[in-house]
Amino acid sequence: MSTPVKNTPILVQKYGGTSVATVDQIRLVAKRVAAQRRQGKAVVVVVSAMGKTTDELVALSRELSSQPARREMDMLLHAGEIISASLLAIALEEEGVSAVSLTGSQAGMITDETHMQARIEQVEGERILHHLTRGRVVVITGFQGVSRRNEITTLGRGGSDTSAVAFAVGIGARQCEILTDVDGVYTADPRIVENPLKLSWCSYDEMLEMASLGAKVLHSRSVEIARKFGIELIVSSSAQEAPGTLVCSSEKGRKEFGEMEEVLIRGVAHNADVAKVALLGVPDEPGIAGRVFDVLGAHSVNILLIVQAESHEGHNDISFLVSSEMLSQIQGDLDALSGKIGARKVIGDQGVGTVSVVGEGVQRESGIAGRMFKALAEEGINIDLISTSNLMISCVVAEEFLEKAVQAVHREFLE
Amino acid sequence: MSTPVKNTPILVQKYGGTSVATVDQIRLVAKRVAAQRRQGKAVVVVVSAMGKTTDELVALSRELSSQPARREMDMLLHAGEIISASLLAIALEEEGVSAVSLTGSQAGMITDETHMQARIEQVEGERILHHLTRGRVVVITGFQGVSRRNEITTLGRGGSDTSAVAFAVGIGARQCEILTDVDGVYTADPRIVENPLKLSWCSYDEMLEMASLGAKVLHSRSVEIARKFGIELIVSSSAQEAPGTLVCSSEKGRKEFGEMEEVLIRGVAHNADVAKVALLGVPDEPGIAGRVFDVLGAHSVNILLIVQAESHEGHNDISFLVSSEMLSQIQGDLDALSGKIGARKVIGDQGVGTVSVVGEGVQRESGIAGRMFKALAEEGINIDLISTSNLMISCVVAEEFLEKAVQAVHREFLE
């Protein structure tokens, strides 16, 4: 992919809501962006809404309706980024840098019409490039787009990361910087593990796995788009200049940072916000599992993990995890289904969590699983379910032991 | 102009910021609109931003810059109406009424690109009509539009009135209701005159004259558009159902409300926010006055009143009024010009105000001017300048006597 702004490197930066929460912070971001611009770079900045703006707008809507129309929520929420983007453009002009703010619609973010969870169809980068070639910093509202019928859409909470990467693709940039309130991707959540390590890099796949297993650094869709189009992500702090974490292909990372065959644990992820569903004594017949997950699909339930053990006297136990809030929504359907397929019992359990190690090749390296299970056992923590892939080993444990489990596993592999 | 929503009367209502300042007020507006909808009307609602939102956004921008770019101010401020419009649509749905919010851009408000003071070029009403014919209440953001190059624009403070009337024109409605925190147009400002009378009607021209002389009920541009396209305006309270004031053509008003030749004083207007400029001893030569006002035209100064007295020994005194804040901006130019055209002296005086009686035919009815001057004289108030037209008699007096002057004139004609 070539750079269409002739001879000028393009920098795409995304600033999250905590980085633009106040006028003073917006001014600091403007100074930082202005410095980059003065170095001759063409700069595109994607912003989230200021601080808690989105939450506040949601709260207003909830005062009026318990189930506001999704279309209207998109209309409402997209105001938040309009405010932060225009204020940042004003702050940039004050720094002596020519700037222009664009709504998602003006910037060419074309989506489908799935309100509050729109999928990006295309980024038409012409208008951004038009301004860049005239030396202007382009400030774009994150999180939002427009459908082909000119309906305002949003990409779902946290969607500004996704916006930023999509704009990078749309204008032919190679990298996208995600500037936030942490200075990189860490080996564990610092609220639980005392001194986690900052990663110099991790692969797209590792990042996606960590995100799906509970890490909250990057919006998964942003990483998927970055992987698909080969955009390198840099996660770093909006408050400091310290180097952050590079998220890139395994090839690039290993080449640049010198790992070859060695399997590395990239981090320990955890998720307390899950519930376990166990369908016990399901007849071991073809098509049964499919029917179970059809029911869940109809609710757009995101399944976090599925485990089916060996069948026993013609019956299976099928267990899976869903987000805690989903459990109550699907409980009724599961009970009905359980009768239909002749399961002996259905159990829903909110009191569980997952602890996972993530790293390319962890499953292949048999020693890792054993060390993880042993570390948990030494703390007296019982493992309820186990699931593995080439990228992760994940254990379901009782929620009350989750923090202890994360600490034990982190100690085993990363301290 | 015909009604394009077949067999259904169209109601266009505009609610100001004080009428949608809180979630509770938005709910009340929704109930009121829903009741109209249930009577079978096709309803379009134009809203301003909630309460002080616009002021708060302006304050944020001022923290960042003393002179924020006008384009960015339009981007920033247009978020305010997006919030109120979407919340009202949510509240309407909660009342069981199908509703959809549209931005000015989506609703087809096409303007030129004079940011913060855009002129309407066209209203493309198709999208509004599309929703109306499907039974939806259409809630539109007032105050804002979009240029043909897809730049966000605003119509200037108070522009929501103008938006509402323009949308009424664009969809072929006959009337536009302006719902606000007062229940009609009064014969004087109730903060100054104890019991002013509510007008049952006044003509477009009278309303425009009152507005230009200081009354703050309606945005003048909205009245001009209404006059041009024959849209009847109804000014009434958003909190009560009491009949308001009809603003219409003289013919319609006189026919409906039974006045014939009789000259009526429609109200007493006043304006404290003016400054007087007097160019004394200007040579009485052709072209001089033109040159003076060319200078002011270059500053986009709105001249409120011009008086040139009889020439005296080949010299004239030219006096005019500008808004107080304009005086300092033009002072330098006037001093320079004064030298060039050989004026003896230039005086700028902030300490004046205007008191005016408004009504069609007031100038023709000689008794009225005499009564007005006498009423002022009896209070010991000196008249500095006098200007009259068929619609008004306006006197410039010392600002310290302005309230007393308004009370005296109101007593003379309207009590």
pTM for the full predicted model? 0.86
Whether residues B90 and A69 touch (CB distance < 8 A) is answered with: yes
What is the pLDDT averaged over residues B125-132? 96
Q: Which of residues 264-323 of A touch B (CB under 8 A)?
A: none
Residue A20: list chain B partners with CB under 8 A.
none
Residue A63: list chain B partners with CB under 8 A.
23
Smallest Cβ–Cβ distance between B82 and the set A79, A89, A100 belongs to A79
Instruction: Return the higher-pLDDT residue of A166 and A294.
Output: A166
Instruction: Assign B379 a pLDDT band (cuts: 50, 70, 90).
Output: very high
Whether residues B103 and A152 touch (CB distance < 8 A) is answered with: yes
> Which segment of A112-126, A181-195, B224-238 scores lowest on mean pLDDT?
A181-195
Nearest residue of A to residue B87 by CA position?
A61
Smallest Cβ–Cβ distance between A23 and the set B63, B78, B91 belongs to B63
* A352 contacts: CB under 8 Å, gap ≥ 6: A274, A275, A276, A321, A384, A396, A397, A398, A399
The pLDDT of residue B219 is 86
Interface mutation target, options B64, B82, B116, chain A, most CBs of A under 10 Å:
B64
Buried/exposed code over B19-34 (b: 16+ C-beta within 10 A; e: otherwise) = bbbebebbbebbebbb
The pLDDT of residue A261 is 62
The pLDDT of residue B113 is 96
What is the pLDDT averaged over residues A253-279? 86
Given a contact cutoff of 8 angstroms between Cβ atoms, the answer to whether A111 and A145 are in contact is yes
Residue A115: list chain B partners with CB under 8 A.
none
Dist CA A168 CA A177 (whole Å): 10
**How many residues comprise chain B?**
415
* B157 contacts: CB under 8 Å, gap ≥ 6: B54
User: Per-residue pLDDT for A114 more than 50?
Assistant: yes
Instruction: Return the higher-pLDDT residue of B362 and B146.
Output: B146
Dist CA A143 CA A77 (whole Å): 9
Instruction: Assign B260 a pLDDT band (cuts: 50, 70, 90).
Output: low
Instruction: Assign A401 a pLDDT band (cuts: 50, 70, 90).
Output: very high
Instruction: Return the higher-pLDDT residue of A217 and B371.
Output: B371
Given a contact cutoff of 8 angstroms between Cβ atoms, the answer to whether A85 and A43 are in contact is no
The pLDDT of residue B8 is 82
Q: Position of tokens 């408004």?
A: B358
Instruction: Report the DSSP beta bridge partners of residue B235.
Output: B178, B245
In angstroms, the separation between the Cα of residue B83 and the nearest Cα of chain A is 5
User: Per-residue pLDDT for B1 more than 50?
Assistant: no
In angstroms, the separation between the Cα of residue A50 and the nearest Cα of chain B is 12
The pLDDT of residue B335 is 82
What is the pLDDT averaged over residues A204-218? 89
Q: Is A128 an interface residue toward B (CB < 8 Å)?
A: no
Smallest Cβ–Cβ distance between A90 and the set B68, B89, B90 belongs to B68
Report the SS3 class of residue A321: strand
CB-defined contacts A:B, below 8 A: 107
Whether residues B69 and A93 touch (CB distance < 8 A) is answered with: yes
Smallest Cβ–Cβ distance between A60 and the set B23, B61, B93 belongs to B23
What is the pLDDT averaged over residues B204-227? 91
Which residue pairs from B284-291 have beta carbons closer than 8 angstroms and sit at least 24 positions apart in sequence?
A: B284/B311, B284/B314, B284/B315, B284/B316, B288/B316, B288/B341, B289/B316, B289/B318, B291/B337, B291/B340, B291/B341
End-to-end CA distance of chain B: 41
Dist CA B49 CA B27 (whole Å): 15
Domains of chain A by range and CATH?
Answer: 10-181 (3.40.1160.10), 267-414 (3.30.2130.10)
The pLDDT of residue B314 is 80
Residue B93: list chain A partners with CB under 8 A.
65, 68-69, 72
Dist CA B181 CA B184 (whole Å): 9
Whether residues B86 and A76 touch (CB distance < 8 A) is answered with: yes
Residue A73: list chain B partners with CB under 8 A.
86, 90
**Which H or E run contains A377?**
helix A366-378
Nearest residue of A to residue B88 by CA position?
A64
Per-state percent for chain A, helix, strand, coil, to nearest 5:
40, 25, 35
The pLDDT of residue A17 is 95
Smallest Cβ–Cβ distance between B64 and the set A90, A103, A152 belongs to A90
Q: Is B154 an interface residue toward A (CB < 8 Å)?
A: no
At residue B235, what is the residue type? V
What is the pLDDT averaged over residues B355-383? 89
pLDDT tens digits, one per residue of B68-104: 999 999 999 999 999 999 999 999 999 999 999 999 9
Smallest Cβ–Cβ distance between A82 and the set B75, B85, B87 belongs to B75
What proportion of chain B, given as a percentage, has pLDDT over 70?
98
The pLDDT of residue B92 is 98
Interface mutation target, options B57, B70, B84, B90, chain A, most CBs of A under 10 Å:
B90
Whether residues A94 and B26 touch (CB distance < 8 A) is answered with: no
User: Per-residue pLDDT for A5 more than 80?
Assistant: no
Tell me how far CA of residue B227 lies from CA of A55, B168, B206, in angstroms: 44, 12, 11
Whether residues A90 and B76 touch (CB distance < 8 A) is answered with: yes
Given a contact cutoff of 8 angstroms between Cβ atoms, the answer to whether A212 and A270 are in contact is no
pLDDT tens digits, one per residue of A58-111: 999 999 999 999 999 999 999 999 999 999 999 999 999 999 999 999 999 999
User: Per-residue pLDDT for B4 more than 50?
Assistant: yes
Residue A69: list chain B partners with CB under 8 A.
89-90, 93
Dist CA A370 CA A213 (whole Å): 20
Interface mutation target, options B25, B87, B88, B153, chain A, most CBs of A under 10 Å:
B87
Smallest Cβ–Cβ distance between B87 and the set A60, A71, A82 belongs to A60
Question: Which 3-state string (H, E, C) describes chain B?
Answer: CCCCCCCCCEEEEEECHHHHCCHHHHHHHHHHHHHHHHCCCEEEEEECCCCCHHHHHHHHHHHHCCCCCHHHHHHHHHHHHHHHHHHHHHHHHHCCCCEEEECCCCCCEEECCCCCCCCEEEECCHHHHHHHHCCCEEEEECCEEEECCCCEEECCCCHHHHHHHHHHHHCCCCEEEEEECCCCCECCCCCCCCCCCECCEEEHHHHHHHHHCCCCCCCHHHHHHHHHHCCEEEEEECCCCCCCEEEECHHHHHHHHCCCCCCCCCEEEEEEEEEEEEEEEEECCCCHHHHHHHHHHHCCCCCCEEEECCCECCEEEEEEEEEHHHHHHHHHHHHHHHHHHCCCEEEEEEEEEEEEEECCCCCCCHHHHHHHHHHHHHCCCCCCEEEECCCEEEEEEEHHHHHHHHHHHHHHHHC
Whether residues B65 and A93 touch (CB distance < 8 A) is answered with: yes
The pLDDT of residue B2 is 42
Whether residues B93 and A65 touch (CB distance < 8 A) is answered with: yes
Whether residues B76 and A93 touch (CB distance < 8 A) is answered with: no
CA torsion A24-A26-A27-A33 (nearest 10°) is 150
User: Per-residue pLDDT for B369 more than 80?
Assistant: yes
Dist CA B150 CA B166 (whole Å): 19
Q: Is B27 an interface residue toward A (CB < 8 Å)?
A: yes
Predicted ipTM of the assembly: 0.84
Dist CA B348 CA B394 (whole Å): 19
User: Per-residue pLDDT for B271 more than 90?
Assistant: yes
Whether residues B89 and A73 touch (CB distance < 8 A) is answered with: no
CA B390 to chain centre: 20
* A146 contacts: CB under 8 Å, gap ≥ 6: A103, A104, A105, A109, A110, A111, A152, A153
What is the pLDDT averaged over residues B241-267? 86
Q: Is B86 an interface residue toward A (CB < 8 Å)?
A: yes
> Which segment of A395-404, B38-47, B291-300, B395-404 scores lowest on mean pLDDT?
B291-300
The pLDDT of residue B361 is 81
For the sheet containing A385-388, what is the strand order? A305-308, A315-323, A267-283, A345-358, A392-398, A385-388
Nearest residue of A to residue B140 by CA position?
A75
Nearest residue of A to residue B105 by CA position?
A150
Residue A91: list chain B partners with CB under 8 A.
64-65
Q: Average pLDDT over chain B, rounded to whole?
A: 91
The pLDDT of residue A2 is 41
